[in-house]
Amino acid sequence: MKKTVMVAMLAACYLGTPSQVFAQSSALEWKSEDGTDSVKLGGVVRLNQRYEAWEGPNGGFGKLYFDIFRVDLKGKFDDAYFNASYLFQDQEKRSVEKAYVGYNLDQNNSIEAGLVYKPFAIYPYPQNGWTYHIPFFLGYGNNIAPGLNWNFNNKDWDIKLGYYPQMLDTSLRYSPESATYDDLAENAFPTQKAYQNEKRHQFNTRIVRKLETEFGKQEFGVSGAIAQLHNKTTDKNGQYYAVGLHSDNNYKRFNLQSSVIHYQYDAKNPDGVVSNDVTLMGNNGFTPAYFIASEATVASLNLAYTLPVQNMGKLKAIRFYNDYSYMDKKRDDWSASQMNTTGMMFIASPFMVWADYTWGKNSNIIGGASNATGYTSTVSPYSDQWLYRINLNIGFSF
């Protein structure tokens, strides 16, 4: 499958001019005559190249390699609608980004069921750049679960409530989530074997106040989440909670996003567990399973500026951005984790290009994934060292 996707991408890039490629690659769409019903099939292919300033299997300049092939299917029939995205990833991994059906109860209220987003703080993406930041690796970005969402939206308020009886199966997860070692065993470390906790019966709420001002749209929000934390070994339930504040502010071409999230996992681990201060996280095996601090506060501040472009072919805008995130762990003897990404996004439909420079320390994706301690005690070869990587991602939408 991986080779097939690569060949398709190369064919799209080299057969004709960009305008011709766009014409050949337009999404398939059907609409009823009155426009009330529609079905649209589309997607994106992405390639990635990276330079990593540390020793390791991917150190130095890597080759341009396949990142993802995503298929999107969405449609509506009167007041009913559906939305689904399926990912083919590198290393022959698969995941679901979303897959739900919805119904508009009236002009302001709707319900959604299936594999739905868990609304919390800045979502679904907690940063501007291609490189995910610390909130994502703690489970607060692009995170879905089987469940039900209720949405209320008008010009002043955006309110979401959700219930999720269990978390998405680890074989289908794109976003990391707390998980048992048994579920993550294919890509976990033997030292993680005793950690067997998983969320159940999670409730989320996100309440946002929206404002229209003369210089742009503003929003200020509060979020909350609670869940059982079931331990498969003891068959006892601990608890998980998180609270968050966020803002999303626009001033002409500038956008400023900020968030503060505090969370805690209180597990009922069996005797013999080395530490109750860590919680095991993971997804579909695309990256190694890793520990995070069981209690911490994470803050982020993202600034972006969009520059319109004229008379440059398909290039319509360049978005300059800087994303910063900071994780303060409850234990005073554990160093903080930090990440900062500076970059540009080139918008030239159907192409979109991200160029990121990420600088960070005590973060698993910046030199720490080899022993998965970046978000806890940071006992690794690169503890408390600032490291950087440069990332180029090229996307082609169809």
Query: How does 202-215 read in b/e, with b if 16+ C-beta sit within 10 Å?
Result: bebbbbbebeeeee
Domains and CATH numbers, the chain: 2-397 (2.40.160.10)
Contacts of 28 (CB under 8 A, 6+ apart): 40, 41, 42
Averaged pLDDT for residues 229-246: 97
Dihedral sign computed on CA atoms, order 47, 177, 242, 165? positive
Tokens found for residue 10? 């190369």
26-48 pLDDT per residue, tens: 569 999 988 889 999 999 999 99
Task: Look at residue 22 in the predicted model and tell me its pLDDT.
Answer: 30
Does the pLDDT of residue 73 top 90, yes or no?
yes
Question: Which pTM does this prediction carry?
Answer: 0.89
Instruction: Give tens-digit pLDDT for 195-220.
Output: 999 999 999 999 999 999 999 999 99
**Residues facing 322 on adjacent strands:** 303, 342
Starting at the earlier edge strand, list the strands of the sheet with 290-293: 177-178, 278-282, 290-293
Range with lowest mean pLDDT among 118-127, 184-193, 230-239: 184-193
* Six token digits for residue 133: 């930041």
